């Protein structure tokens, strides 16, 4: 089955202007060699602290940001080969919900105008008015159709974003921090709305630093730190296997019962340095960690082969090639 | 829009209509001849049936001169607004969407033109190129266009920075629709309208000031709200309308420009 | 700390050079030949062409004018006071104008802040009143003020209360009352008061609801220190934003009330088509506005660390 | 007799709409009381009432607040009921600043949700701490105050501006300001929202350390997961009323429907952590 989204070895650099833009131009790799796949019928989670490159990875994968190295296949089409028009044609079937939905609504347009535009764009044959009424009802925003974005609450703005997304009926739904800043009740409802399109040929990619939410919504999860995926595992294996030290620290902070030595002082992420990116704060660092960056290696502990992969010399010591 | 704003719109339309009509119709068609209508013996008459607002110190009809004076600033005002809007929106949109060096150039031009006081610039332009109200309109429009460009650029840039453009692209909208409809039409049309109204008010202020001080702008015997006021100063004629009619006309028109401009401010706090 | 100041100085010089370029463009783009616009142009055509570099293309002419201007040589007056060097003419006049400009700018800011504090968010009546009064053009306010004064004096004289006051029929006599009137009119006229008051009031409302003000109240700390300190950067922006309008208004006020400063000199120079003097004063005006902007920016980076860092 | 803060019969109105109805709140020294509820349940309004902070019009219309600290008893809301009964609440609120001066920042400190926003962006941390200290008569140095709030090297932070502080550092600076003049109680309004998990953990540990030193902490949050680990008692509010008050460890076994719905929503979203 061709994956909905396949990212192989992506590297995306940001030029840090340095002093006066001339001296000391350092380019930091926001995304430093990442492989990630979303199969049809699957919901994948992507967790990591702010600044780990999650958002950059996703925007580059959807062709919104250009990237230096690596290959991306979107719904089976290689991204590099697509013309602007073809890429826009694909957009309908892979939708992105941004982190701050109140920023992604046009402040001058009412909710009704937003939904009508999506209906005319993605469902040209259907009657726009009916489509809008149906989906507004489904996400519970029909009582605020006349409102302007600044009159809506955070939750209501997210509902408008989801309504537009559902109207496009995407095969791949990518949600960047969909429930940041919402309280428990709203968080659950918004997540359920996003999962409404779950079906064998559709896939979801959830990005968040809220691990319990990912555990609830996804089947597989990848952990990112300083631009690299340091661990990939099925959600059922959370807390039941030996984790990458960074994942353990994340799980412990989120209240999961995980016994692992506390991380050292919060040293800055080691980007662009040889060796493991988690070297600074890692309590289990070995001498070889500083020379050679660990590869993602499969561990046989989770159910099924190759399900649980960790990039750490300590947890998954690789047989030197 | 509030009721007072509609009042303002009504008055501005009246003034505009008067200016356009008196400007376009050839001199012969007008029932009032500016030069011939001098009758010293009827100087300073109070308002009568024949002269709705009485006569000035040379016996000329104040009401007709008040009406004819509108052609001195309405034509140039519309020219200035057209120039400022077309150049401003064009430059603002291009630099807003491209960003980078284009936006830096617009900001630089806007700072430079803002650093020369507009009244001084217009004065210099007339001194060099000869005294015509159309020139005043053109120079004021050109000098104001960077301000419009910077405002349009600012609005587009803030929407880009708030990821709105990225979200629209991700949803599948074409760049042209995003720029023309979402950014310019929906978000900038009221703002450009406000700038045009403020410019029209400023143009009236400019023309009447030049005509009042004399030497530039509209010279006697052609009527302007500015020079009508200037000539009444010395003569304490019985007809108070000679002084108050142009004064109130100037103040009311500029105030209405501000009123309508304020009413155009959107209700949204982006 | 040094880098932001250097950067602001560079902006000042760059903007001023740009302004001079615009002025030169105005001269260069004029359809006719500027020399024959000058009354005694034909006899001194050779001198004019050499001094203005009319025969050379725009870039050289601009470089020549800029080179001389930096050394303080703005050429010699042609018709206003033939033979006198422009710099000696305009600098004393500019001094007299500053004595009018600075107090009126301060008065406008003072009135704006006072009204802003008084009405922050409460009654919009004062804001409406300020707008109604302030929108009248400077010359109209001056005209009405003088007209009113004369009517009162006339009425007083007829009623025998007092003899003919010396300031009667004001514009021709020179008096402290006229200067005060000029300052007041310039501070209020052509929208100055309304804009400053509206901007200050919006800033006040925003600061009143700012989280750090609420936190200061919760800590029992005095609020006014925080509010005033945070008002400084926006006030600096408002001040240099209005500077260009004030210099423009200055020309009008000086001409209407017959005060002899750089403004009325500019008007005379334009009437007599004395381009060196006119250009000299315009460059000075642009320098004044750029200077105000430089001063405003310096205050802003001194007060706001985020701006200091952004300018790094 | 241990320091105690007791608020009874709190009633807050916004126009005619009743936001909070007869809420009681007891907080002892050295205890962490978690005030929990969905957004809009009135928990923040109730906490602000302890400091008499401005709120909706007419705001607090009835409250008996009693602060016993070191034998001294304060009743700031004295005179409110009479003023409201006479239909002239303004008469009380005009003198409220004096009535609450000994409490705000002296006896009760506060921490806002947006820590960086609660600091004056134009002042250094040092200058803000000096201002807080100058209001009282304590002879502490700013560095000592910051040290008590958990900064390992206070010297490094003194010269920084709020926008240069990380989320965790800003929260700690707010703690320092809140306790600069020896407050016995601390109101922490959603201190962990928006922080990364590891930083959240550090702040909660800090609150537990302060409670250990005898400070009464009122922890306002909508995140039920942290309550059993951090709080001693928990008070659940819903639509302006106190639903239930019970020891934090018994939270998951509570019977009332509102608590159950809150727990279910959090469990569904929070996984097995509760």
pLDDT in tens, B40-53: 777 777 777 777 88
> What is the reported pTM?
0.81
Contact residues on chain A for D193, CB-CB shorter than 8 A = 181
Report the C-alpha gap between A317 and A276 in whole angstroms: 13
Chain D's closest residue to A213, CA to CA, is D269
Best mean pLDDT range from A66-70, C142-146, D29-33, D104-108: D29-33
What is the pLDDT at residue A198?
83
Window from A288-302, C30-44, C262-276 with minimum mean pLDDT: C30-44
Task: Please tell me the distance from the alpha carbon of residue C220 to that of residue D180, in angstroms, as a whole number.
Answer: 12
Question: Which pLDDT does position D31 carry in this prediction?
Answer: 92
Tell if the CB–CB gap between C282 and B116 is shorter than 8 Å.
Answer: yes
Q: DSSP readout, C130-192? A: HHHHHTS-HHHHHHHHHHHHHHHHHHHHHTTSS---TTSSGGGS--HHHHHHHHHHHHHTTTH
Mean pLDDT of C140-147: 85
Q: Vertex D114, ends D113 and D116: CA angle to 5°?
A: 140
Query: In this predicted model, what pLDDT tens digit does every residue of D86-95 receive, in sequence order?
Result: 888 888 888 8
Contact A243, A253 (CB under 8 A): no
Answer whether D89 touches C (CB < 8 Å).
no
pLDDT at residue D11 above 50?
yes
Of B162, B186, B269, the CB nearest to A150: B269
pLDDT value at position B25?
81
* Chain A residues touching B267 at Cβ < 8 A: 148
Chain B residue with CA closest to A105: the answer is B164
Give the closest-approach CA distance of A212 to chain D in angstroms.
4
A-contacting chains (≥3 CB pairs under 8 Å): B, D
Nearest-CA distance from B234 to chain C in Å?
9
d(CA D194, CA A26): 30
Of the listed ranges A94-98, B203-207, C270-274, D119-123, the one predicted with least confidence: C270-274
Where are chain A's structural domains? 1-90+172-218, 94-169
pLDDT at residue D272 greater than cutoff 50: no
Angle at B180 between CA B137 and CA A58, to 5 degrees: 140
The pLDDT of residue A56 is above 80: yes
Q: Which helix (H) or strand (E) holds D60?
A: strand D58-69
Interface probe, candidates A103, A114, A123, chain B, greatest B C-beta count within 10 A: A103
Give residue A21's pLDDT.
44
What mean pLDDT is predicted for residues B79-90? 95
Give the model's pLDDT for residue D122.
Answer: 92
Predicted ipTM of the assembly: 0.77
pLDDT above 80 (res C168): no
What integer pLDDT is reported at residue C43 of this predicted model? Answer: 67
Interface test with A, best of B158, B172, B269 (most A CBs within 10 A): B172
Cβ contacts of A107 on chain B, cutoff 8 Å = 159, 164, 187, 268, 270
A235 with A214: CB under 8 angstroms? yes
Residue A303 pLDDT grade (very low, low, confident, very high; cuts 50, 70, 90): low
pLDDT-based confidence at A18, cuts 50/70/90? very low
Tally the C-alpha atoms within 13 A of residue C67's C-alpha that lie toward its C-beta. 9
- Which residues make Cβ contacts (< 8 Å) with residue C128, sequence separation at least 6? none
Banded model confidence at residue D273, pLDDT cuts 50, 70, 90: very low
**Structure tokens belonging to residue A315:** 């947890």
Name the average pLDDT for chain B. Answer: 86
Strand, helix or coil at C40? Answer: coil
Place of tokens 């031009």: B109
Residues of chain C found within 8 Å of residue D123, distances taken between Cβ atoms: 226, 229
Residue B102: pLDDT band (50, 70, 90) is confident
Answer yes or no: is pLDDT of A16 > 70: no
B6 CB contacts (<8 Å, ≥6 apart)? none
CA nearest B187 in A: which residue?
A108
Average pLDDT, chain D: 85
Q: Which CATH number applies to A1-90+172-218?
A: 3.40.50.300
pLDDT at B220 over 50: yes
Radius of gyration for chain A, computed over Cα atoms and rounded to the nearest angstrom: 21
Whole-angstrom distance, CA of residue A202 vs CA of residue A165: 13
Q: What is the pLDDT of residue B215?
A: 83
Confidence of residue A320 (pLDDT cuts 50, 70, 90): very low
Instruction: Note whether A touches B: 3 CB pairs or more under 8 A.
Output: yes
Interface test with C, best of D122, D137, D138 (most C CBs within 10 A): D122
Stretch D1-25: mean pLDDT: 87
Structure tokens, C265: 């000199």
Are C306 and D121 an interchain contact pair (Cβ–Cβ within 8 Å)? Answer: yes
Q: Mutating which of D248, D271, D274 best tests the A interface, going by the most A Cβ atoms within 10 A?
A: D271
Give tens-digit pLDDT for A141-171.
Answer: 889 899 888 888 888 888 898 899 889 889 9
The mean pLDDT value for D182-186 works out to: 89
The reported pLDDT for the residue numbered B1 is 64
Which of C31, C34, C144 is closest, CB to CB, to B247?
C144
Q: How confident is the model at residue D269 (pLDDT cuts 50, 70, 90)?
A: low
- Contact check, Cβ <8 Å, D118/C303: no
Report residue B3 CA to chain centroid gap: 22
pLDDT of residue A20: 44
Q: Would the CB atoms of B127 and C271 count as touching at under 8 Å? A: yes
Q: What is the pLDDT of residue A19?
A: 44
Residue B270 has pLDDT above 50, yes or no: no
Predicted pLDDT at B64: 86
Closest alpha carbon to B246 in D73, C143, A43, D248? C143
What residue ranges define each of the domains in chain B, with the CATH number in brackets?
3-25+34-72+223-269 (no CATH), 74-205 (1.10.3720.10)
Q: Find the CB nearest C226 among D53, D120, D164.
A: D120
Distance (Å) from the alpha carbon of C255 to chain D's nearest alpha carbon: 44
Of the two residues C17 and C32, the one the predictor is more confident about is C17
* Residue D272 at interface with chain A, using a CB cutoff of 8 Å: yes
Residue A48: pLDDT over 90: no
Instruction: Give the fold, CATH level 3, of C2-311.
Output: MetI-like fold (1.10.3720)
Positive/negative CA dihedral, D148, D153, D156, D162: negative
Q: What is the mean pLDDT of residues B92-117?
A: 86
Is the pLDDT score of A24 beyond 50?
no
Nearest chain B CA: its distance from C146 CA (Å): 10
Higher-pLDDT residue of C122 and A94 is: A94
- Max mean pLDDT among A71-80, A231-240, B27-36, C60-69 falls in A71-80
Interface contacts (B, C; CB < 8 Å): 134
Q: Determine the pLDDT at residue A253.
A: 75
The pLDDT, as a whole number, for residue B266 is 66
Q: First vs last Cα of chain A: how many Å apart?
A: 31
Mean pLDDT, residues B92-118: 86
In the predicted structure, residue B68 carries a pLDDT above the cut 60: yes
**Position of tokens 């506005």?**
C289
CB-based contact D270:A212 (threshold 8 Å):
yes
C137/B208 Cβ within 8 A: yes
What is the separation, in whole angstroms, between the first and last Cα of chain D? 36
Interface of D with A in 82-141 (CB under 8 A): none
Average pLDDT rounded to a whole number, residues B241-266: 88
DSSP C121: T
pLDDT band at D168 (very low <50, low <70, confident <90, very high): confident
User: For the sheet containing A5-16, what is the strand order?
Assistant: A26-38, A5-16, A69-74, A77-78
The pLDDT of residue C216 is above 50: yes
Picking from C90, C143, C197, C239 by the largest number of B CB atoms within 10 A of its own CB, the best residue to mutate is C143
Spans of all domains in chain C: 2-311
A22 and chain D: CB distance < 8 Å anywhere? no
Cα-Cα end-to-end distance for chain C:
8
Neighbours of D10 (CB within 10 A): 25
CA distance B116 to chain C (A): 5
Strands A308-310 and A228-234: antiparallel
**Is the distance from CB of D58 to CB of D52 less than 8 angstroms?**
no
Q: Does A211 touch chain D (CB under 8 A)?
A: yes
> Which chain C residues are within 8 Å of B128, Cβ to Cβ?
26-27, 30, 34, 37, 275
The pLDDT score that the predictor gives to residue A2 is 84
pLDDT band of C123, cuts 50, 70, 90:
low
Contact present, D112 and D189 (Cβ < 8 Å): yes
Spatial separation of the C-alpha atoms in residues B252 and B258, rounded to whole Å = 10
Q: How far is CA A177 from CA A50, A55, D188, in A?
A: 11, 9, 25
On chain B, the residues whose CB falls within 8 A of the CB of C290 are 115
Paired strand residues for D242: D237
What is the average per-residue pLDDT within B248-257?
A: 92
Full 3-state SS string of chain B: CCHHHHHHHHHHHHHHHHHHHHHHCCHHHCCCCCCCCCCHHHCCCCCCCCCCCCECCCCCEHHHHHHHHHHHCHHHHHHHHHHHHHHHHHHHHHHHHHCCHHHHHHHHHHHHHHHCCHHHHHHHHHHHHCCCHHHHHHHHHHHHHHHHHHHHHHHHHHHHHCCHHHHHHHHCCCHHHHHHHHHHHHHHHHHHHHHHHHHHHHHHHHHHHHHHHCCCCCCCCCCCHHHHHHHHHHCCCCCCHHHHHHHHHHHHHHHHHHHHHHHCCCCCCC
């Amino acid at each position: 089955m061709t994956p909905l989204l396949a990212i192989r070895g992506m590297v995306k650099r940001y030029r840090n202007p340095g002093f006066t833009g001339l001296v000391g131009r350092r380019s930091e790799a926001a995304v430093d060699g990442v492989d990630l796949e979303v199969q049809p019928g699957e919901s994948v989670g992507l967790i990591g602290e702010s600044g780990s490159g999650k958002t950059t990875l996703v925007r580059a994968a959807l062709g919104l940001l250009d990237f230096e190295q690596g290959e991306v296949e979107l719904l089976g089409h290689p991204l590099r080969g697509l013309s602007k028009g073809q890429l826009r044609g694909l957009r309908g079937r892979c939708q992105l919900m941004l982190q701050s939905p109140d920023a992604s609504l046009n402040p001058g347009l009412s909710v009704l105008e937003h939904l009508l535009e999506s209906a005319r764009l993605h469902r040209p044959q259907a009657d726009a008015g009916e489509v809008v009424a149906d989906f507004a009802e489904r996400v519970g925003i029909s009582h605020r159709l006349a409102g302007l974005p600044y009159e809506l609450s955070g939750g209501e703005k997210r509902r408008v974003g989801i309504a537009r997304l559902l109207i496009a009926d995407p095969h791949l739904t990518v949600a960047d921090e969909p429930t940041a800043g919402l309280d428990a009740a709203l968080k659950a409802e918004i997540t359920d709305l996003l999962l409404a399109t779950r079906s064998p040929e559709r896939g979801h990619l959830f990005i968040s630093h809220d691990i319990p939410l990912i555990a609830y919504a996804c089947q597989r999860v990848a952990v990112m730190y300083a631009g690299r995926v340091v661990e990939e595992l099925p959600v059922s294996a959370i807390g039941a296997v030996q984790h990458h030290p960074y994942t353990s620290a994340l799980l412990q902070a989120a209240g999961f019962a995980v016994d692992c030595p506390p991380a050292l002082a919060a040293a800055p992420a080691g980007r662009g340095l040889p060796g493991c990116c988690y070297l600074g704060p890692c309590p289990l660092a070995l001498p070889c960690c500083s020379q050679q960056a660990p590869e993602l290696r499969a561990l046989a502990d989770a159910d099924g082969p190759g399900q649980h992969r960790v990039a750490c010399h300590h947890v998954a010591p690789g047989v030197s090639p | 829009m509030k009721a007072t704003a509609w009042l303002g719109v009504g008055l501005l339309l009246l003034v505009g209509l008067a200016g356009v009509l008196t400007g376009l119709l050839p001199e012969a068609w007008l029932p009032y001849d500016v030069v011939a209508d001098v009758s010293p013996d009827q100087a300073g008459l109070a308002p009568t049936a024949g002269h709705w607002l009485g006569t000035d110190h040379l016996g000329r009809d104040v009401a007709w001169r008040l009406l004819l004076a509108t052609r001195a600033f309405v034509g140039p005002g519309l020219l200035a607004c057209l120039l400022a809007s077309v150049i401003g929106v064009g430059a603002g949109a291009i630099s807003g969407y491209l960003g980078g060096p284009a936006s830096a150039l617009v900001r630089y031009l806007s700072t430079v033109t803002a650093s020369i006081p507009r009244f001084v610039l217009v004065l210099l332009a007339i001194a060099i190129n000869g005294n015509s109200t159309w020139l005043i309109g053109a120079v004021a429009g050109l000098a104001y266009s960077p301000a419009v460009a910077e405002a349009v650029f600012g609005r587009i840039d803030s929407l880009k920075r708030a990821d709105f453009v990225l979200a629209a692209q991700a949803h599948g909208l074409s760049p042209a629709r995003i720029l023309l409809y979402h950014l310019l039409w929906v978000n900038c049309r009221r703002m450009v309208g406000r700038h045009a109204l403020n410019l029209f008010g400023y143009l009236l202020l400019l023309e009447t000031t030049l005509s009042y001080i004399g030497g530039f702008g509209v010279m006697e015997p052609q009527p302007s709200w500015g020079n009508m006021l200037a000539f009444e100063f010395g003569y304490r004629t019985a007809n108070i309308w000679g002084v108050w009619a142009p004064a109130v006309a100037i103040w009311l028109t500029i105030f209405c420009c501000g009123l309508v401009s304020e009413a155009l401010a959107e209700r949204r706090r982006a | 700390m040094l880098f932001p100041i250097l950067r602001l100085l560079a902006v000042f010089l760059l903007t001023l050079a740009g302004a001079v370029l615009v002025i030169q463009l105005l001269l260069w783009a004029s359809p006719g030949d500027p020399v024959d616009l000058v009354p005694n142009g034909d006899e001194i055509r050779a001198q004019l062409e050499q001094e203005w570099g009319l025969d050379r293309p725009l870039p050289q002419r601009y470089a020549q004018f800029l080179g001389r201007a930096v050394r303080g040589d703005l050429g010699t007056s042609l018709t206003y006071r033939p033979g006198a060097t422009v710099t000696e003419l305009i600098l004393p006049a500019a001094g007299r104008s500053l004595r009018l400009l600075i107090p009126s700018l301060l008065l406008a800011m003072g009135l704006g802040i006072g009204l802003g504090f008084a009405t922050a968010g409460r009654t919009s009546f004062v804001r409406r009143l300020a707008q109604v009064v302030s929108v009248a053009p400077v010359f109209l306010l001056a005209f009405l003020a003088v007209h009113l004064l004369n009517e009162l004096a006339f009425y007083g004289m007829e009623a025998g209360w007092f003899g003919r006051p010396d300031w009667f029929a004001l514009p021709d006599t020179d008096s402290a009352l006229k200067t005060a009137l000029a300052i007041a009119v310039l501070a209020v006229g052509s929208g100055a008061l309304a804009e400053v008051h509206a901007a200050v009031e919006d800033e006040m409302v925003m600061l009143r609801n700012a989280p750090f003000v609420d936190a200061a109240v919760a800590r029992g700390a005095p609020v006014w220190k925080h509010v005033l300190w945070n008002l400084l950067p926006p006030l600096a922006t408002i001040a240099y934003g209005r500077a260009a309008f004030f210099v423009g208004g200055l020309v009008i006020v000086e001409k209407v009330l017959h005060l002899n400063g750089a403004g009325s000199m500019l008007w005379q120079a334009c009437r007599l088509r004395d381009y060196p003097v006119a250009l000299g004063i315009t460059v000075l005006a642009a320098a004044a506005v750029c200077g105000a902007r430089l001063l405003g920016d310096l205050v802003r980076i001194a007060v706001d660390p985020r701006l200091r860092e952004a300018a790094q | 007799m241990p320091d105690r803060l007791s608020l009874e019969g709190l009633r807050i109105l916004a126009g005619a709409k009743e936001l909070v109805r007869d809420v009681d709140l007891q907080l002892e020294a050295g205890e962490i009381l978690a005030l929990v509820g969905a957004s809009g349940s009135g928990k923040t309004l109730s906490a602000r009432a302890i400091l008499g902070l401005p709120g909706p019009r007419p705001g607090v219309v009835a409250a008996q607040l009693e602060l016993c600290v070191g034998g001294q008893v304060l009743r700031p809301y004295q005179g409110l009921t009479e003023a409201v009964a006479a239909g002239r609440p303004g008469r009380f609120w005009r003198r409220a600043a004096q009535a609450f001066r000994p409490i705000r920042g002296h006896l009760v400190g506060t921490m806002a949700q947006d820590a960086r926003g609660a600091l004056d962006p134009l002042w250094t941390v040092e200058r803000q701490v000096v201002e807080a200290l100058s209001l009282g008569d304590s002879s502490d140095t700013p560095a000592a105050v910051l040290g008590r709030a958990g900064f390992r090297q206070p010297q490094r932070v003194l010269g920084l501006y709020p926008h240069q502080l990380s989320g965790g550092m800003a929260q700690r600076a707010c703690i320092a300001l809140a306790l600069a003049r020896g407050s016995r109680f601390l109101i922490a309004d959603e201190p962990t929202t928006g922080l990364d998990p590891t930083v959240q953990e550090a702040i909660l540990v800090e609150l537990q350390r302060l409670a250990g030193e005898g400070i009464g902490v009122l922890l306002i949050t909508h995140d039920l997961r942290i309550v059993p680990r951090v709080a001693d008692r928990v008070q659940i509010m819903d639509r302006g009323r106190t639903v239930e008050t019970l020891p934090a460890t018994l939270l998951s076994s509570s019977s009332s429907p509102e608590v159950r719905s809150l727990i279910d929503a959090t469990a569904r979203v929070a996984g097995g952590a509760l």
